Chains A and B, each alone.
Chain A
């Protein structure tokens, strides 16, 4: 089970940004790039090294009219951690 108080931060090796030409968010690393889906992009936008996972779930739920996003957030965060894009503190 993932600790929802954990705070995700972008790992030193990666950069997250919006790509105008591709109309999507991407994660960049040495000589490589991952295109993110819209929902993954929305979650990554909330990763700022201060917000905890539960904060992120709350913020996104508020943004999307109270939708239950917790499963999506947890699934993405655990995938992102596995790939080394983010670290959990």
Chain B
């Protein structure tokens, strides 16, 4: 979402960023997936016609960036139709994919349909770890798909989600991206929601790991200037100010989940007391402008102390509502990543415990891979 210019202060902004999670099905089983752990509960998916209607309505409201995500969006057989219509409507269309389910022909069909950009995600820079983390034999296929994306003239964005198991590989990851001639490299830090939160004990990197990785990333950012843009963000757990999550609730971002639920962020479903409006029942305009959910944490009036009187509230909007809920029990609290939060020390303590377990190889909970079977067993 880099580069979107924002203004939360004045009139209601358009929902510039629409994320279409078209399915929860996925051939991969990454334990850091940000989908909810109860994916097995959501069998219904919007039909092609329903998606097309949503895309038209959202575009009318000013949505510009459109991400097709999931699950694995390639599972949807009608993806070409959705892309073609989106391009016609004037969206900048992003396909966020593992590459599994794609081949040379499909990449070219997407191009014809008008797809602007494909982001291919990898799990690691080497085959063994990549295939272990994704629970699939996918590394070589991903390499081939990345090459095809480049060859067929798309801007190539590679995405690696970083966590304890692969953070030490960061230099190899960057070298792989250089070899594949990526235009952008996203070294995306794991966000601890959904499956990732369930597996936090196993995934949270140590401060030492992060320090090293950061140094390497900055070195290459300088070195690759003008050739490849490298995005690297330190996990916010280790910061003392929270991230401006979603650039503010109901400010620029809207997710539609596979069953048509509209959410102000991917994880919002876990916040109690939300109505969870569905595009099957409501117009997109009503959902964005008037629905109680999208107004719940919009702007600044909902804030409690220390946020409400804080001179930095317009910078970070009090951080992340879901994180506030998960770590403090109340979504309206200050994100405890903030050192001004009275619960910040609790978070720091928790990180220390996880770090110390990591250093001593103590496994309190085994890594759970994301699939429908484990989802059912966790329900």
Contact = CB atoms under 8 A, between A and B. Distances in A.
Q: Is this pair of chains taken from one and the same complex?
A: yes
Contacts of B16: 33
B155 A28 contact: no
Interface string B1-34: 1111100000000101000000000000000000
Given A29-B155, A32-B1, A32-B2, A21 B61 contact: yes
B293 to A, nearest CB: 22
Given A22-B14, A34-B5, A15 B92 contact: yes
Chain A interface residue number, banded = 10 to 19
Nearest to A35: B5
A21 B65 contact: no
Contacts of A26: 64
Contact of B62 (A22, A29, A31): A22
Interface string A30-55: 11111100000000000000000000
Contacts of A35: 5
B360 to A, nearest CB: 39
Contacts of A13: 155, 183
Contacts, number: 58
Contacts of B3: 29, 31-34
Interface of B is mostly: loop
Contacts of A29: 3, 92, 117, 155
Contacts of A34: 3, 5
A86 B285 CA distance: 35
A19 interface: yes
Contacts of A31: 1-3, 65, 67, 94, 117, 119, 157
Interface string A1-36: 000000000001101010111100010111111110
B64 A19 contact: yes
A20 B62 CA distance: 7
Interface in B85-121: 90, 92, 94, 116-117, 119
B1 A28 contact: no
Given A31-B2, A31-B67, A19 B62 contact: yes
Contacts of B155: 12-13, 29-30
A42 B335 CA distance: 43
B90 A17 contact: yes
A30 B62 contact: no
A15 B154 CA distance: 12
A2 to B, nearest CB: 18
B238 interface: no
B153 interface: yes
Contacts of B92: 15, 28-29, 33
Contacts of A12: 153, 155
A-B pairs with lowest CB-CB distance, top 6: A21-B62, A32-B3, A28-B92, A13-B155, A30-B117, A21-B14
13 contacts: A13-B183, A20-B62, A21-B14, A22-B62, A29-B92, A30-B116, A30-B117, A30-B183, A30-B184, A31-B67, A32-B1, A34-B3, A34-B5
Given A15-B92, A21-B61, A30-B116, 5 more contacts: A21-B62, A29-B92, A30-B183, A31-B3, A31-B67
